[in-house]
Structure 1
Amino acid sequence: MTAPRAWRPIAGGPPAGPLVLAVDFAATGRPEAAFADLVARLDPGTEVWESLQPPLGTETGMVAEDYVTRWEEEVRASGRRIGAVLGFCAGSAFAGELAVRLARSQPRSPRLVVFDPESPTTSTLYYQFRKVVESLAGVLGEQAAREALAEGTAAADRIGDVEGLGAELVRVFTAAGRAACAAADLDDEFADELTATYRSFVSYLVAAAAVDHVKCWSGAVAVSSATPTSGLNPLDPAARAALVERELTFDVHHADLLRDPGVARAVARLLA
């Protein structure tokens, strides 16, 4: 098999053994732990692939079907049996759909484990917009950051659909980011990468929102943090129980969920 373009190996294992897939938008410098942190705490011997995003710019116009098919086709071409599919946050929606598809072609369905699973909403998009803008205030400058946040807030107040809000937040961020880079004498290449990465992230969230997560998560094990606004935590107990097969809860912040030793031990038991 040629080198994967839709996945990257983050842990090795025996070539004939089952493969574990992990779906996430792993970006350099993000505060949340990533699947690489989790894998480092698991026993060696299980091969894990983590999803890769399409090359920057090529995600334009992609919908949920395009993302999942891109990942699925490369997995099928490998000829490997899939032991489990993992998903983090919005990646849990994609992970669920991917697990459903892969189950059709192997005797035993992959185990589905979702970490603080979310189906993105307009609130998700706005929250992530605020987080990105605030984290880049040093690049944007305080005044530009305040103006971008105000414009993004106004957009969130008037736009009620995920796709429409996503497009407007990308416009706001792109304008603010390019203006800030120009004012700071940063080159066009830096501005291009900054804005394109955010656009790629929004495309990922918008596509994930279109997945039928209710159907996909029915057989999943959810691993939940203690952060009230993350994953299943905003839902009432009955709604949480109806969405997944079972839920494991941990007294750990959302950002640390994938690096917590207790979580790693629980995941190791699930994968055994």
Structure 2
Amino acid sequence: MPNEESWSVLSAPTSNSVVLAVDFPAPGRSEAGFADLTAVMGSAWSAHGVLQTKLPAVTLADRPGPETYLDYWTGDEQLSGREVVAVLGYCLGGVYAAEIAERIARRQSTEPAVVLFDGQVTDKQLLAVEIDKLIALGGPVLTADEANQARLRAVEIVTTPGIALADATEEIVALYREVATGAFRKVGLAPERGEEVVRFFETYMAWLTAAEGIDPASAWGRSLALTSTDYAALEEDGAPTAVNATKLIDKRFRLEVSHADLLRADETARVLRDHSGF
């Protein structure tokens, strides 16, 4: 079996052949995950086990780099005895998937396929996008002025001339802590529970920031990409995280599926069965 600290089993391996799925799973999130994709693929993947990344216990204060995550997933013992046929990446997970595939290709006889689902690259603008999502979720609690001031401050942070991504991330997390603490107080959430929520956001932002140290160009140049209608909207808006990603991708299928449903849609399963090659 794979190292249980580094990988969760979505579909138990019946042989030494596995598909690796790279994601930042969040409890209760609205977007479909790789467990949903595994279910919708059904017997098409019956010859392979499906394993999904778990996260190392690091915080933003540790200033983790990409090696922190990559070594945790691909060290000597993590996938011992496994033949990796494909590495899948959801959103920013596609950046990590690229380097995992490169590492695996250096130690087995075949190159794993690389499949991206709304693949994006790290950019300071993405920090503002992520906190904007959380501000929107806090709509019933935050006043319009509080929400607007938080958004303006986020934009100010990420557009600070010369600011490094890691420094911008720390400021964004501090901003979220300030806004969230006030919101939690209004709804009577226990301080320790509120701190858990903030820490989870911090963990996500550390994962996002560390991806800046990976160049996915080589693996993405031979990748298969499936993109959603929401991704198309990002491109139309000129969002660098999507526009710059698309320039690197080899083969792409634009699906009439939302980002939230991309990993559970029948159309996604059809494209994978017809074009993934594994």
- Measured against the shorter chain, the TM-score band is 0.7 to 0.9
Deviations 1:168-188 (A, max 9, x none): 100100122223323433222
The equivalent residue for 1:268 is 273
Deviations 1:90-120 (A, max 9, x none): 1000000000001111111111111111111
Matches of 1:56 and 1:241 in 2, distance apart? Answer: 30
Kindly state the Cα deviation for residue 147 of structure 1 after the two structures are TM-superposed. 3.6
Q: CA offsets, 1:55-105, max 9 Å, x none?
A: 364873211111111111276443211111000111000000000001111
Q: What residue number does 1:5 align with?
A: 5
Contact 1:88–1:116 at 8 Å: present in 2 too? yes
Task: Structure 2: state its 5+ residue gaps.
Answer: none
Between 85-94 and 257-266, the greater mean CA deviation after superposition? 257-266
Contact 2:18 2:49 in 1 (8 A): yes
Partner secondary structure for residue 48 of structure 1 = strand
Against the structure 1 CA distance between its residues 4 and 43, is the aligned structure 2 distance closer, same or farther, given a 3 Å change threshold?
A: same
Q: How many residues align?
A: 270
Residue of structure 2 equivalent to 1:170: 173
Which residue of the partner structure matches residue 255 of structure 1?
260
What's the CA shift for 1:215? 2.6
User: In structure 1, what is the Cα distance between the partners aligned to 2:154 and 2:238?
Assistant: 23
1:224 aligns with 2:223: no
Q: Which residue of the partner structure matches residue 245 of structure 1?
A: 250
Do the aligned residues in 2 keep the contact of 1:116 with 1:231 (CA within 8 Å)? Answer: no
Q: Is the 8 A contact 1:95 1:112 kept in 2?
A: yes
Higher mean Cα deviation, 189-198 or 59-68? 59-68
1:2 Cα deviation from its structure 2 partner: 7.4
User: TM-score, normalised to structure 2's length?
Assistant: 0.86
Instruction: Give the TM-score, by structure 1 length.
Output: 0.87
Contact 2:58 2:64 survives alignment (8 Å): no
SS class of match (1:253): coil
Of residues 49, 52, 56 in structure 2, which corresponds to 1:50? 52
Q: CA deviation at 1:31?
A: 2.7
Distance 1:98 1:233 in 2: 30
Selected match of 2:105 from 98, 103, 106: 103
Worse-superposed segment, 215-224 or 16-25: 215-224
Cα pair distance change 1:143/1:185, threshold 3 Å = farther
CA distance in 2, matches of 1:260, 1:72: 29
Determine which of 156, 159, 164 is the counterpart of 2:158. 156
Aligned-residue sequence identity (percent) comes to: 27
Contiguous gaps of at least 5 residues in structure 1: none
Aligned to 2:28: 29
Q: What amino acid maps onto 1:21 in structure 2?
A: L
Higher mean C-alpha deviation, range 205-214 or range 74-83: 74-83
Q: Secondary structure of 1:243's match?
A: coil
Do the aligned partners of residues 94 and 2 (structure 1) sit closer, same or farther apart at CA in structure 2, a change above 3 Å counting? closer
* Shift in CA distance, 183/244, structure 1 to aligned 2, threshold 3 Å: closer
8 Å Cα contact 2:114/2:219 also seen in 1: no
Instruction: Describe the SS at the equivalent of 1:19.
Output: strand
Task: Give the Cα separation in 1 of the matches to 2:237 and 2:187.
Answer: 41
CA-based RMSD of the aligned residues comes to 2.8
